[in-house]
Amino acid sequence: MVDRAGGLTSHPRRPAGSTSRTRLTDRRFAALLMLPAGAFLAVFIGWPLLQFVIDGFFKIAPIAGGPREFVGFGNYVRLFQDADFIDAAWRTVLYAVIVVTLEFVLGLAVALLFSALGNASRVFRTVFLYPLMIAPIVAGLLWRFLLIDNFGIVNELFTRVGVLHSSTDIQWLSNPNIALFSVAIPDIWLTTSFITLVLFAGLQNIPGDLIEAARIDGARYSTILFRILLPLLRPVIAVALIVRGIDAARAFDVILIQTNGGPQSSTETLSLLIYRTMVRFGDPGLASAMGTVYLIAMLAVAVAAILSIWRPGSEEKR
């Protein structure tokens, strides 16, 4: 069975629905199969989303079923004058950039390391997987425990090896100047594996004779990396970075459990600000306006990233 299937894949794919007899019904059949999932997504994402966007135009009392007053773009005017919102927006961008940059550099380095070591590195690749399975809330908690001053092991180890004078020298999570970097650490720890795996898989697909030829021509490793590997990996890198960038910009659990947005709001990203505005301050209208701007920005960035990195027209071949 397997052999037969394998043998068949080499045949050119027949265009689907090429027989005119079944064409229309095939299309209907396909629509029918997509209907349940489509309806589900429409009801449980589309509808709440619509409601959320509409809420942004109202001033809403925090109690359930309370009075609503239409204020037009009032909430939007308020939020663009709101320093908290502007700051949180920049922080979200900075956070995503920190996470994605470090993950990409580390992830690529490890992927190249795995490739250089060949098949023998398989066991280590497994070890590299495990943080992906850990709940972000657990990872945040764990790193908070590791980074805490006094009894945190990180500062203790730094002190032992002589980098720090005392174990309270770096206040990872309570110094507002570095807290945003510190809260990003668990996120990086959790998902660098994802970048590594994706890039490693991409590297496996690059034909070996290409690299061989470059080597014979005397190309240095850096030349091979920047002239051959990275350009060929471009689509893979694009997908990995977009996926991770979006996830990082939505980060909530990891930050909430570590600092709850503090100290002095230095780690309050948009997710946390919206949550706080909605649940704690009881201003769902304003929170909805914030969320709408956040959502639109995210979609815009994602579309722009896809278009620029993927290069429309030169669609990647499977």
Partner 1 sequence: MNGLEVRKLSSKTILWIILAAVVVLYGFPFVYMLLTSFKAPIETIAVPPRLLPSEWTVANYVSALSRSGVTASFVNSIVTATLSTAISLTLGLPAAYAVTRFRTRLGRFFIVAALVTRMVPPIVVGVPMLSIFRNLGLSDTSIALAVAHTTISLPLSIWLMSSFFEAVPSELEEAAKIDGCSRLGALWRVVIPVTSGGVAVTAIFAFLASWNEFLFALLLTAVRAQTTPVVIANFQTQFGLDWGSMTALAVVYSVPVILLTLLLQRHIVAGLTLGAVKG
Closest CB to partner 1 among 94 and 141? 141
263 neighbors 148 (Cβ within 8 angstroms): no
Residue 16, interface with partner 1 (CB under 8 A)? yes
SS (H, E, C) 219-237: CCHHHHHHHHHHHHHHHHH
Query: Per CB under 8 A, which of residues 245..274 are in contact with partner 1?
Result: 246, 249-250, 252-253, 256-257, 270-271, 274
Report DSSP state, residue 44: I
The gap from C-alpha 144 to its chain's centroid, in whole angstroms, comes to 21
Closest CB to partner 1 among 163 and 299? 299
Query: Per CB under 8 A, which of residues 69..108 are in contact with partner 1?
Result: none
Closest CB to partner 1 among 36 and 177? 36
Among 74, 176, 235, 282, binds partner 1 (CB under 8 A): 235
Residue 208, interface with partner 1 (CB under 8 A)? yes
196 neighbors 128 (Cβ within 8 angstroms): yes
Closest CB to partner 1 among 126 and 177? 126
CB of 121 to partner 1, least distance (A): 7
Instruction: Find out whether the peptide bond into 15 is cis, omega within 30 degrees of 0.
Output: no
Kindly state the helix (H) or strand (E) to which residue 68 belongs, with its residue range: strand 68-70
Residues β-bridged to residue 68? 60
Closest CB to partner 1 among 27 and 220? 27
Report the C-alpha gap between 232 and 247 in whole angstroms. 25
The gap from C-alpha 113 to its chain's centroid, in whole angstroms, comes to 23
Among the residue ranges 70-78, 79-87, 141-149, 170-178, the one whose residues contact partner 1 (CB under 8 A): 141-149
Report the C-alpha gap between 106 and 296 in whole angstroms. 30
Residue 318, interface with partner 1 (CB under 8 A)? yes
CB of 312 to partner 1, least distance (A): 14
Q: Per-residue string for binding with partner 1, 278-307, x by CB under 8 A?
A: xx----x--x---xx-xx--xx--x-----
- Pairing relationship of beta strands 68-70 and 58-60 according to DSSP bridges: antiparallel
Number of residues located near partner 1, criterion CB under 8 A: 114
The gap from C-alpha 267 to its chain's centroid, in whole angstroms, comes to 17
Among 87, 97, 115, 232, binds partner 1 (CB under 8 A): 115
Closest CB to partner 1 among 14 and 177? 14
Among 75, 108, 131, 259, binds partner 1 (CB under 8 A): 131
Among 207, 218, 231, 312, binds partner 1 (CB under 8 A): 207
Angle made by CA atoms 52, 84, 277, in degrees to the nearest 5: 40
Report the C-alpha gap between 243 and 97 in whole angstroms. 13
Residue 163, interface with partner 1 (CB under 8 A)? no
